[in-house]
Amino acid sequence: MRKTNFHTHTARCGHAVGADEEYVLSALRGGFCELGFSDHTPWPYPSGFVSSIRMTPDELDGYVASVRRLAVRYGDRIRLRVGLECEYFEAYMPWLRETIRRCRLDYVLFGNHYYPSDEHAPYFGHETRTPEMLERYTESAVEGMETGLFACLAHPDLFMRSYAPFDRHCEKASRRICRTAARLRIPLEYNVSMIAADEKRCWQGVPHPDFWRIAADEGCTAVIGMDAHDHTALESGVYYDRAVRTLAGLNIPTVDTLPFFEY
Ligand SMILES: [Zn+2]
Ligand SMILES: [Zn+2]
């Protein structure tokens, strides 16, 4: 399997560090042969809301241009892709479809962080503590996947960052998410970015072994995602290599590419 990563942020989102070029250089040091940028998408909030975790809409063209420039500069050493990490906010899906076309994006990742929008809804990663919130997470995940826009479901087990223990509600939610992903042939991202922090707080979070056992059982496909918010994270192979071993142990087929849009 080629070593690839399609989950990379940039400093534009306000909670990542490093220049765009540093991510490319770190990816080369880490032995990646293909790197996809998927920074948090901006959304055209009619209320004028300004999110603290995203670039602004007027930064989008500069972001795409920057990745394209780097793709040319480093084209003989690494293949670069440009995408976005997007929620499923139903009201903004026409805008997203138009943006994909206008910017000629290679792909969009489905980061199911909030629903129906982050203007009022809490972050699923911190606030999913009840079966009701879990149900909301699951509905949004399933409906989002059904749009056919997303190349993969990022951190599908995000709810386990705050929900504990993995109970019958989690089992049901995971079955529904995995069954939908398998039916639609959408790879699930085995996201390694939170392992270090979860280990430090002695928390069984993401990736959650019970979720991934269900993913294996439902015949899902995985893609390993670094979800890098610091370019140096791309240089160490510790979590990537562990992910390869874990997925092989679970007999989950792992892909090194995504279904990209064609123009
Ligand atoms: Zn995310
Ligand atoms: Zn991310």
Task: Confirm whether 260 is domain-assigned.
Answer: no
Which ligand is closest in space to the CA of residue 39?
2
Both tokens of residue 215?
Answer: 């993913």
pLDDT below 50 — which residues of the chain? none
Task: Confirm whether 38 is domain-assigned.
Answer: yes
Q: What is the pLDDT of residue 32?
A: 98
Number of structural domains (the chain) is: 1
CA of residue 262 relative to chain centroid, distance: 20
To the question of pTM greater than 0.85 for the whole model, the response is: yes
CATH number of the domain to which 138 belongs: 3.20.20.140
Task: Confirm whether 53 is domain-assigned.
Answer: yes
Q: What is the pLDDT of residue 225?
A: 98
Ligand 1 centre to CA of 71 (Å) is: 23
Which ligand is closest in space to the CA of residue 158?
1
Task: Confirm whether 218 is domain-assigned.
Answer: yes
Which ligand is closest in space to the CA of residue 233?
2
**What residue spans of 8-84 are helical by DSSP H?**
20-29, 60-73
Ligand 1 centre to CA of 96 (Å) is: 17
* Structural domain that includes position 215: 4-249
Amino acid type, 10: T
- The sign of the dihedral angle between the CA atoms of 195, 29, 62, 90 is negative
Task: Confirm whether 172 is domain-assigned.
Answer: yes
Ligand 2 centre to CA of 53 (Å) is: 10
Which ligand is closest in space to the CA of residue 226?
2
